[in-house]
Amino acid sequence: MEQLEKTKNLKHFLTMTDLTGDDIHELIDDAILMKQQVKDGVPHPHLQGKTLGMIFEKSSTRTRVSFEVGMLQLGGHALFLSSQDIQLGRGETVSDTSQVLSRYVDGLMIRTFAHATVEEFAASSSVPVINGLTDPHHPTQVLADLMTIYETKGKLAGLKMSYIGDGNNNMTHSLLEGAALVGMDMAVSSPKGFEPDESIFQAAKAIGLETGANITFHKKPEDAVHQADVIVTDVWASMGEEDELETRKQFFKPFQINQKITEYAKNDYLFLHCLPAHRGEEVTAEIIDGKHSRVFDEAENRLHAQKALLKKLLKN
């Protein structure tokens, strides 16, 4: 495998692998700077006069508000476009919609189901396209996660992150890619039948060989959490899978993040969850509301990590 390039010429942001480790650190540094500027009341209108179109086929709290407020703080404007409010809802092709919107706005953010949809948008778009979430990938959330870890631990490379729960979801996949790119070990533990996508897992392992990240899978959550610096989980049934929750509970109950499982981690571990969370299911209240939890810092960092991304993509 060829040595990973230090930076990429970023046109679109569809998965974490559109970045390099150096790109991620550059975005985190810029995000931390702009976060401090907000606290200090220092304006940073890097995108004065720019407009972001935001297409939502999946509902959202953090994605919509963070992108909208982010564009405002950057001096630009964001347009909320429900799929039912534009011609996509009446059968216009993705390609036609992308080509039309590209002539009106400076960038597009899409939150949808099929990853092929954002890929088609990007292929037809003359402006940058950002994946706000698809079924297999959630890269904007993982940028915020890595920023949160870096703020607290002061580094990323050499740390160990453990993901416990549904391995075949967008958070696991994007975390695998992000961890591998920055040289962070990642251990995943999921019930049988809910393992990460094999191609994504193997690709992350291959990246890890270049960056020094050890990417592993464990049948027992205790093995995955052993000496972890960061523990991450997500809901047991993602958006669109809610009707499977009662069935899934019987498989996922041993994978709950609780006091007993966290005793295998380092004493100063961090707990992360992309939210919304279901207390008493994937995580107990004492953990998510306890001293190790950084879930609200993580949610806040969606705003600043995405501002750094928007600046990088739209400024020029």
Cross-strand partners of 216: 187
Q: Write down the catalytic residue from 234, 248, 256, 304.
A: 234
**Ligand-binding site membership of 98 (annotated):** no
Q: Is 22 a catalytic residue?
A: no
Residues 6+ apart with CB under 8 A from 60: 111, 132, 133
The verdict on whether residue 61 carries a ligand-binding annotation is: yes
33 is in an annotated binding site: no
CA distances from 124 to 117, 128, 132 (A): 11, 10, 18
Question: Could you write out the DSSP letters of every residue in 1-65?
Answer: -PPPPS----S-BSSGGGS-HHHHHHHHHHHHHHHHHHHHT----TTTT-EEEEEESS--SHHHH
170 annotated to a ligand binding site? yes
| Whether 302 is catalytic | yes
Edge to edge, the sheet with strand 215-218 lists 215-218, 185-189, 160-164, 230-233, 270-273
- Does the annotation count 304 as an active-site position? no
Ligand-binding annotation for 64, yes or no, is no
279 annotated ligand binder: no
Residue 62 known to bind ligand = yes
- Among the listed residues 12, 137, 138, 173, the single catalytic one is 138
Among 46, 111, 137, 273, which one carries the catalytic annotation? 111
For residue 189 the two structure tokens come to 């533990």
Does the annotation list 97 as a binding residue?
A: no
Residue 87, annotated as binding a ligand? yes
Q: Which two tokens stand for residue 259?
A: 């006091």
* In contact, 188 and 217? CB cutoff 8 Å: yes
* 140 marked as part of a ligand binding site: yes
Supply the DSSP string of 117-184, one letter for each residue.
HHHHHHHH-SS-EEEEE-SS--HHHHHHHHHHHHHHHS--TT-EEEEES-SSSHHHHHHHHHHHHHT-
Write the DSSP symbol of residue 75: T
90 is in an annotated binding site: no
Which one of 73, 302, 304, 306 is the catalytic residue? 302
Torsion of CA 153, 156, 159, 162, to 10 degrees: 100
Given 166, 229, 274, 306, which residue is catalytic? 274
| Distant-in-sequence, close-in-space partners of 44: CB < 8 Å, separation ≥ 6 | 34, 37, 73, 74, 75
* Both structure tokens of 150: 């870096």
Write down the catalytic residue from 23, 46, 137, 141: 141
* Cβ atoms of residues 304 and 32 within 8 Å: yes
Q: Is there a catalytic annotation at residue 138?
A: yes
* 274 belongs to an annotated ligand binding site: yes
169 is in an annotated binding site: no
- Whether 234 is a known active-site residue: answer yes
Give the residue numbers marked as catalytic: 111, 138, 141, 234, 274, 302
Binding-site annotation: residue ranges for L-ornithine? 170, 234, 238-239
Q: Which residues are annotated as a binding site for carbamoyl phosphate?
A: 60-63, 87, 111, 138-141, 274-275, 302
Bind-site residues? 60-63, 87, 111, 138-141, 170, 234, 238-239, 274-275, 302
